Amino acid sequence: MKKSVLIAGTGPVAVQLAVLFKTYTTHHVDMVGRSDVSAKAQQFWQAYQNAQQLEVQVQNDLHMSLAGTATLGRLYERYEAVEPHYDVLVLACTADAYSQVIQQLSPAVRQQLKHVVLVSPTFGSHMVVQQQFSAEQPNIEVISFSTYLGDTTVSHPETPHRVLTKGIKKHLYIGTIYEQSDFSQEIIDLLSEVQIPVTQVAHPLMAESRNSSLYVHPALFMNKHALKAVFEGMTVPFYVYKLFPEGPITMQLIAEMRQMWQEVMAILKHLNIDTLNLLKFMVKENYPLRPETMDDDRIEAFETLSAIEQEYLLYVRYTGILIDPFSEPDENGKYFDFSAVPFKEVFRNEEGVWQIPRMPNEDYYRTQMMRGIAQALNISTPMMDTLIQRYEAQLTAFQKAHPNDRVSTQFQIQSFEEDINSIAKLLNSEG
């Protein structure tokens, strides 16, 4: 059945999704951005007015099914202008913006919606969204993906309506608050058209937990070495996935990563949701290792091992992908330097306001959300507490060091109280 789809967001992810919907479904597709307050959204709006179409190119010919062009029915300049005739809302913005986006839509728009798709949620996002609709549309279907389908970027800053998809995920997970959902099956079928396998799981929280960034990023980006690189800068590049001193990976970081994973697993166990073998997920669904580096028996047994054995295997995993183990060596025996991903430093935007890169800014929000869920369930989270305290100390130190500079709201210590309260309210009502 033909539906009316509204995509919230005007970034590269939104463009790729709009082209997919227009290419593989008969649905009416519109988009909405914040060009009234965002310079980037304004630039997108202007570029689309000139071109009157969206365009996706791909880096790898194997992914040609994702490429194409699309013309929107309408591109709204602001959320308040959206008209109340949409069946589906696709949230193609960052997870910390979900509440704000939904609140900017009129009650009439919210009442009309039947499905909300969370493209890049964090752990607990579906509960935040569910609560936002509790008054106008309590029966709305909320669908969570584990993560976005690939890696999509703007081809050139001056033409943000043209994007490049560099790669796709090996596997996605999807969960809905309803057991049987024709619409979620339709999305799975759509992604199978572009050769992306999707596994439907029993609960949105399980889908949201199938994202290694939840466990890996806070430890990688919220340690003292990484925070120094991001907020103070380095004289030479400092690399996210390298061992100290080239990067932040130390025995302590690996111990913190394992403890972070354990704290999230305690939440899943409490809610009777299947736990995650972190090592297996990393190796089988992210970046594989050579079998000579680590055998499958150890990987499969990871959850049953002692803490020190788990830390050892996680450390070996990171040493195993310092180079791309499946690349061809050059004449000097050098393999592709896979781990040479430098930390991005804080930067000033066009208006001269200091900004924090997506990592660790998003990791601050996602760690706060996970801790909020744990607190609602009376689960202690000493590792999450430490990571958050460490990050907030860095925010305070930066502002003290730049007393006369303009800084964005990202530098404020935030509790994300509204979103955490939404989660607690839903958990308490279900408990």
d(CA 383, CA 259): 6
| Contact of 213 with 121, CB cutoff 8 Å | no
Say if residues 4 and 85 touch (Cβ distance below 8 Å).
yes
What the block records as the tokens of 238 is 């400092």
Q: Which of 115, 126, 203, 217 is catalytic?
A: 217
Identify which of 169, 309, 329, 315 has the alpha carbon closest to the alpha carbon of residue 242.
Answer: 315
Note whether 117 and 91 are within 8 A (CB): yes
Residue 203 appears among annotated catalytic residues: no
Sign of the C-alpha dihedral, residues 391, 396, 401, 407?
positive
Contact by Cβ (8 Å): 243, 318: yes
What is the C-alpha to C-alpha distance for residues 129 and 142, in angstroms, rounded to an integer? 7
Count other Cβ atoms within 10 Å, centred on residue 400.
8
Identify residue 55 by its one-letter amino acid code: E
Judged by DSSP in three states, 153 sits in strand
How many CB atoms are located within 10 Å of the residue 185 CB?
14
Q: Which residues are catalytic?
A: 217
